[in-house]
Amino acid sequence: MKNLILGLFLFGFIATGHSQILLEEAKIEYRPVSMQLDPDTNYLEIIIPEKKVGEFQQDPLAFMKANFDAKKLALDNKDADIVKFEVYFKSRKGFLVALFDDQGELISTNQKFKDVRLPEDARLEILRTNKDAVIKGTKYIAYSKGWDIDKEFYRVKISDGQKTQRLRINRQNNRHSIAQNQ
């Protein structure tokens, strides 16, 4: 029995000694995704995942600034003689279209989202002027020149029993005003 245990111990020691193989160092180079347009279609599709749900819809311009490098796109396509290019960002709830110049500088944006949560003061104003109203749907629309939002408003569909109304709520300097009934 003693010989058997000693033999197994010796076999295990020899087997582990032979299994120790030295590996050479692996070199890994990081190459970011090429942002070169397809020469036939002048089209490029890149999927940018959100880190948390609703991040894109909450602040589309900040999401674009943090996750998309327009200057790299312009640099990768400098041989294509691009004067301006449009970039589309889309989600289930809406989209953002951004127009850039040949240097990758933002010229303007256009964004539209549906089923957005209205700001608290706008909701209270709607409920104050329309006592028994129920908000049926909302849309947020905004335009910018460069990185500054130039014009933004909400379109709201409300129902008061049998009657349905459409309201437009302008937003300027973090203040809201119901502009018109549509």
Q: Are residues 47 and 101 in the same domain?
A: yes
Check: pTM over 0.75? Answer yes or no.
no
Give the chain's domain count: 2
**If you average pLDDT over residues 66-92, what whole number do you get?**
84
Percent residues over pLDDT 90 in the chain: 15
Min mean pLDDT across 23-32, 52-61, 81-90 is at 23-32
Sequence-distant (6+) residues with CB within 8 A of 138 are 114, 115, 116, 117, 118, 154, 155, 156, 157
Sequence-distant (6+) residues with CB within 8 A of 105 are 70
Q: How far apart are CA 94 and CA 116, in angstroms?
A: 10
Does the structure show a pLDDT above 60 at 19? no
Q: Give the residue from 2, 93, 94, 80 showing the smallest Cα distance to 35.
A: 80
Q: Are residues 120 and 180 in the same domain?
A: yes
Q: Give the residue from 103, 87, 116, 105 showing the smallest Cα distance to 145.
A: 105
pLDDT confidence band for 30 (50 / 70 / 90): very low
Say which CATH number the domain at 136 has.
Answer: 3.10.450
Domain with 166 in it? 115-182
Residue 92 lies in a domain: yes
- In tens, the pLDDT along 126-160 reads 888 888 888 889 999 999 998 999 898 999 998 88
pLDDT confidence band for 54 (50 / 70 / 90): confident
